[in-house]
Amino acid sequence: GAVVSQHPSRVICKSGTSVKIECRSLDFQATTMFWYRQFPKKSLMLMATSNEGSKATYEQGVEKDKFLINHASLTLSTLTVTSAHPEDSSFYICSARDRRLAGTDTQYFGPGTRLTVL
Amino acid sequence: DAKTTQPTSMDCAEGRAANLPCNHSTISGNEYVYWYRQIHSQGPQYIIHGLKNNETNEMASLIITEDRKSSTLILPHATLRDTAVYYCIVRVARNTPLVFGKGTRLSVIA
């Protein structure tokens, strides 16, 4: 399957600082990427859809000014958590849509980034 | 996208087949059935997907009933490394992102 990477894998930061998480599709171009977050023992929750060259689409309840998404190229999307607070501590996972196979549309996921805000 | 129902948890003996059921009684004709799994503290891993025919790959087999209202993911010879949460997701291809339910926690026991 396709490979999606994330960096960093884990980050610890102080409250009030901003943290940037990168998501890359390594062996395919992804016009669409997705950002999810996951709290302990909970399922993944979709935060936003990131489209290359255009503004991201955020899910209801997700603050677009707090979670800045940039999708500047076909292989890179970034999520910046601005002015992070302890309640932003979570597991953030990106996903990229691979459309190379005709008639299908499979999402591949990165390994996730664990954010801890002190 | 249609809603899915999965058992909360299942156990399976190592080396035996693991059969994970999923109900999707409201599935529509253009919706695919996708299976992913998530091993602890990792991103979800794609397993398999299908529309109406049974599918098989190197990881698993997907059996979809003729009326498409339910499906079963089969891991033919479960190993300890197959312990994970397995998600059955129904969605229209090319249009919408995956929306995750609670999944089934599979524990493979030695």
Mutation test of the interface with chain B: which of A37, A44, A91, A115, choosing the one with the most B Cβ atoms within 10 A?
A: A44
B40 vs A contacts (CB less than 8 Å): none
CB pairs under 8 A between A and B: 53
Of A44, A49, A91, the CB nearest to B100: A44
CB of B46 within 8 Å of a chain A CB? The answer is yes
Q: What is the pLDDT of residue A51?
A: 86
Distance (Å, whole) CA B110 – CA B105: 16
Beta carbons of A57 and A48 less than 8 angstroms apart: yes
Mutation test of the interface with chain A: which of B41, B86, B90, choosing the one with the most A Cβ atoms within 10 A?
A: B41
CA-to-CA separations, A112 to A115, B4, B48, B54, in angstroms, rounded = 10, 25, 21, 31
CB of B105 within 8 Å of a chain A CB? The answer is no
Q: List the beta bridge partners of residue A24.
A: A5, A76
Closest to A48 measured CA to CA, from A37, B90, A25, A85: A37
Beta carbons of B75 and B10 less than 8 angstroms apart: no
Q: What is the pLDDT of residue A104?
A: 62
Residues 57-86 in B contacting A (C-alpha not used; CB under 8 Å):
none
DSSP conformation letters of B56-83: E-SS-EEEE-TTSSEEEEEESS--GGG-
pLDDT at A100 over 80: no
Distance (Å, whole) CA A115 – CA A39: 11
Kindly report the nearest CA distance between residue B92 and chain A, in angstroms.
9
pLDDT at A101 over 70: no
Of B34, B43, B101, the CB nearest to A93: B43
pLDDT at B30 over 80: yes
- Render pLDDT for A38-93 as a digit per residue (tens, 0 to 9): 999 899 999 999 988 888 999 999 999 999 999 888 899 999 999 999 999 999 99
Beta carbons of A48 and A69 less than 8 angstroms apart: yes
